[in-house]
Amino acid sequence: MLVVIDMQARLLPHLDGGERLSGRVATLLRAANLLGVPVVVTEQNPDGLGATADVLRDDMRSANVIAKHTFDATLEPAFVAALPPTTETLWVAGAEAHVCVLLSVLGLRRLGYRVELVADAVASRRADDRAIALERARQDGARLTTVETSIFGWLGSYRHPRFREALALIK
């Protein structure tokens, strides 16, 4: 399952690399749709911060969108109810790396999930905050990965019937 944390329009312009982040998350969403990877998207305080950015909306057609009011998504019963069994791996991307992403990753680890934190698909307002969040997540058992590695992992082989389509997303 792909978990996309708080990619909201009012937040993205304030992030270091927010435009690049949107592109990386869009690539993940497109690949997840193409390959049948389930997606859950959170929106932090949507009444105050608005919905997920329009640039991602078309790629969220099959996503389960969950409003949350906690920084750690695992404290929201609707989020936990949307998760697969703990034997599954979760790929996590979004914003902000040092707050909602990190706290949710730590919560997912406490629940027993294997977490792949997509390092090139997370951002914070300050680069230092992002760097420390990645290190903290790694120290607490999350594995760092990239968008490309995630997609190739979902494919499993160049023999996958959607390989060429997925490859086009990366190039």
- Distance separating alpha carbons of residues 159 and 21, to the nearest angstrom: 29
- Distance separating alpha carbons of residues 105 and 97, to the nearest angstrom: 10
Flag whether pLDDT at 139 surpasses 90: yes
CATH of the domain at 89: 3.40.50.850
pLDDT number for residue 143: 98
Flag whether pLDDT at 61 surpasses 90: no
Report whether 26 contacts 59 (CB < 8 A): yes
pLDDT number for residue 62: 87
Conformation bin of residue 6: beta by default, left when phi > 0, alpha when psi is -120 to 50: left
Task: List, for residues 79-124, the tens digit of each pLDDT value.
Answer: 999 999 999 999 999 999 999 999 999 999 999 999 999 999 999 9
Q: Structural domain tally of the chain?
A: 1
**Residue 148 pLDDT class (50, 70, 90 cuts):** very high
Q: Which domain holds residue 46?
A: 2-170
- Distance separating alpha carbons of residues 124 and 122, to the nearest angstrom: 7
